[in-house]
């Protein structure tokens, strides 16, 4: 598979899946075991789509929810109880969020998530063909990130889908701590795929050094310094890139920048 440009008109379905991802992660965000890297609010890739982190409700019961992009459904379960939504019907994010809160309550968990995570009570647009195209490209992006992660030493998270930006990424963390608006944070490099109207892959070393913007990059990638800082490679309109291209770009940026993000520098 390749990381392909997504179909014309797919942005309505993207918006819908984005809203669903936020609804499905509202309970882990509110009641999941906090992870310093925020993995509890991300969604992990599965054979069929993406699943939220299990949220313990007590008595060995955990709530999980999957965005199934093969059968185009949401399936959430807690113990022997479950709830299912047909995505082709465009259920509202609000109806999904409320159903998951009710499911948790039936399983003995009292969870009070942020209602803004699923406030939209309007029917959604969901095109199964567009969702399938997204899944195919996502599988290729995850493949590239898994290969990347296998060749890098140190603390690594992902690949996972971030509900906030609806991008798929992995993160490498250095032992070096730097100031981040008055608090300490680990230097890091994020590599990911941002699916949108114009999709691209990115590699973001943080904190960014101005001199990196003058370094050459392979495959026609460029350094983005407007709004965010890092390497960017656009997916050609109507075309695609091979997973290996993404992996090799990320390796190149990692080799150039990680030494400057280590504790010794």
Task: Give the domain range for residue 43.
Answer: 9-126
The per-residue pLDDT for 109 is 87
Domain end point (choices 87, 107, 126): 126
Q: For residue 48, is it within any domain?
A: yes
The per-residue pLDDT for 114 is 95
The per-residue pLDDT for 60 is 86
Domain end point (choices 107, 126, 145): 126
Q: Are residues 120 and 237 in the same domain?
A: no
Q: Are residues 175 and 253 in the same domain?
A: yes
Q: Note the pLDDT tens digit of each residue in 99-140.
A: 999 999 999 888 999 999 999 999 999 999 999 999 999 999
Nearest of 167, 157, 140 to residue 247 by alpha carbon: 140
Q: Note the pLDDT tens digit of each residue in 151-206.
A: 999 999 999 999 999 999 999 999 999 988 878 899 999 999 999 999 999 999 99
Q: How confident is the model at residue 53 (pLDDT cuts 50, 70, 90)?
A: very high
**Mean pLDDT in residue range 79-98:** 97
Q: Are residues 107 and 195 in the same domain?
A: no
Phi, psi of 39 (to 5 degrees): -65, -25
Higher-confidence position of 184 and 74: 74
Q: Are residues 139 and 172 in the same domain?
A: yes
Question: Which is it for the CA torsion 103, 125, 134, 190, positive or negative?
Answer: negative
C-alpha distance across the termini of the chain, in Å? 39
Taking 90 as the threshold, does the pLDDT of residue 59 lie above it?
no
Q: In angstroms, rounded to a whole number, what is the distance separating the alpha carbons of residues 151 and 167?
A: 22
Q: For residue 187, is it within any domain?
A: yes
Taking 90 as the threshold, does the pLDDT of residue 35 lie above it?
no
Q: Are residues 190 and 135 in the same domain?
A: yes
**Mean pLDDT in residue range 231-254:** 97
**Mean pLDDT in residue range 53-80:** 95
The per-residue pLDDT for 155 is 96
Q: Are residues 13 and 120 in the same domain?
A: yes
Q: Note the pLDDT tens digit of each residue in 209-235.
A: 999 999 999 999 999 999 999 999 999
Q: In angstroms, rounded to a whole number, what is the distance separating the alpha carbons of residues 124 and 60?
A: 35
Q: Are residues 107 and 120 in the same domain?
A: yes
Whole-structure pTM value:
0.95
Domain end point (choices 126, 146, 171): 126
Q: Are residues 116 and 17 in the same domain?
A: yes
Q: For residue 4, is it within any domain?
A: no
**Mean pLDDT in residue range 234-240:** 97
The per-residue pLDDT for 265 is 55
User: What does the mean pLDDT of the chain come to?
Assistant: 95
Q: Are residues 161 and 245 in the same domain?
A: yes
Q: Are residues 53 and 23 in the same domain?
A: yes
Q: Are residues 233 and 160 in the same domain?
A: yes
Q: For residue 93, is it within any domain?
A: yes
The per-residue pLDDT for 169 is 98
Q: For residue 2, is it within any domain?
A: no
**Are the C-beta atoms of 179 and 186 separated by less than 8 Å?**
no
Quick one: three-class SS letters along the chain? Answer: CCEECCCCCCHHHHHHHHHHHHHHCHHHHHHCCCCCCCHHHCEEECCCEEEECCEEEECCEEEEEEEECCCCEEEEEECCEEEEEEHHHCCCHHHHHHHHHHHHHHCCCCCCCCHHHHCCCCCCCCCHHHHHHHHHHHHHHHHHHHHHHHCCCCEEEEEEEECCCCEEEEEEEEEEEEEECCEEEEEEEEEEEECCCCCEEEEEEECCCHHHHHCCCHHHCEEECCCCCEEEEECCCCCEECHHHHHHHHHHHHHHHHHHHCCCC
The per-residue pLDDT for 224 is 97
The per-residue pLDDT for 242 is 97
Q: For residue 1, is it within any domain?
A: no
Q: Are residues 116 and 154 in the same domain?
A: no
The per-residue pLDDT for 182 is 79
Structure tokens at 79: 């113990």
Q: For residue 3, is it within any domain?
A: no
The per-residue pLDDT for 110 is 87
Number of domains in the chain: 2
């Amino acid at each position: 598979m390749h990381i392909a440009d997504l179909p014309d008109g797919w942005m309505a379905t993207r918006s819908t899946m984005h809203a669903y991802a936020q609804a499905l992660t509202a309970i882990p965000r509110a009641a999941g075991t906090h992870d310093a890297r925020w993995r509890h609010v991300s969604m992990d890739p599965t054979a069929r789509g993406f699943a939220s982190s299990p949220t313990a409700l007590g008595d060995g019961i955990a709530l999980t929810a999957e965005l199934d992009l093969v059968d185009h459904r949401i399936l959430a379960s807690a113990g022997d109880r479950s709830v299912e939504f047909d995505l082709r019907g465009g259920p509202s994010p609000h109806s999904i969020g409320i159903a998951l809160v009710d499911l948790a309550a039936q399983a003995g968990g009292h969870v009070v998530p942020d209602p803004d995570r699923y406030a939209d009570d309007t029917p959604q647009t969901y095109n199964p063909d567009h969702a399938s195209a997204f899944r195919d490209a996502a599988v290729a992006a995850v493949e590239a990130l898994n290969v990347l992660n296998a060749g890098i030493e140190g603390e690594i998270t992902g690949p996972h889908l971030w509900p906030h930006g609806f991008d798929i990424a992995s993160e490498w963390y250095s032992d070096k701590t730097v100031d981040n608006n008055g608090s300490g944070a680990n230097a890091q490099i994020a590599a990911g795929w941002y699916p949108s109207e114009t999709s691209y892959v990115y590699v973001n070393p943080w904190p960014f050094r101005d001199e990196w913007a003058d370094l050459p990059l392979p495959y026609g990638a460029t350094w983005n310094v407007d709004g965010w800082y890092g390497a960017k490679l656009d997916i050609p309109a109507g075309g695609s890139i091979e997973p290996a291209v993404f992996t090799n770009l990320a390796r190149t940026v990692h080799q150039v920048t990680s030494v400057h993000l280590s504790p010794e520098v």
